[in-house]
Amino acid sequence: MTKLRKLNQIIISLTLISLLLFSANVVAAENNIVAKGSTTVLPISQACAEAFMDQNKDIDISVQGGGSGVGIASIIDGTCDIGNASRPIKEKEIKTAEEKGVDVFVNIVARDAIAVVLHPANDIDGLTLQQIKAIYTG
C-alpha cells in the first residue's frame, strides 16, 4: 500500500471518527444531519457520510458544498449541523457566532500540504520558503 493511500485512509478514518463524535448529540434530536461547506472537504465528507449511513441505516446525512464561508455561516445561522471549512474560522465569524449565542466547536480533520518537485534537468539544488512563496504569489 502506498504512503498516499495510507494517508487517505487515515484522513477518512479521522473524519469519520469526528463525524461520529459530533453527530452523537445531533442524532439524539433527529435522524437527519446536514453538512455544508468547503468543496475541498466535500469528497472526504461524502465518503464518511456514506460509511456512517451504511452502519446506521436509520440516519440520513446530506452533504453539500458551497465553500468554507458557507459552511461556517450555515453553522452560525443554524441551517446545518456540521460546517465544513478548509480554512481556520475568522475572528469576525467567531464574534458573530458569540453574538448569536452559537458555541462553535473546531475540529481539525486534515491539513493541506504542498510538495515542490523540480525536474531532474533543473540546475536548482533547493529553494527557501521565501523563494517558494515568491514563486506562487508572483
Whether pLDDT at 67 is above 90:
yes
Whole-number percent of the chain with pLDDT over 90: 53
The count of C-alpha atoms lying within 13 angstroms of the C-alpha of 65, restricted to the half-sphere facing its C-beta, is 6
Global confidence as pTM: 0.65
Band of residue 23 on the pLDDT scale cut at 50, 70, 90: very low
As a whole number of angstroms, the distance between CA 46 and CA 64 comes to 9
| Four-residue CA torsion sign, 63, 65, 66, 67 | positive
| Predicted local distance difference test score (pLDDT) of residue 99 | 96
Whether pLDDT at 13 is above 80:
no
34 backbone φψ class: left, alpha, beta (φ>0; ψ -120 to 50): beta
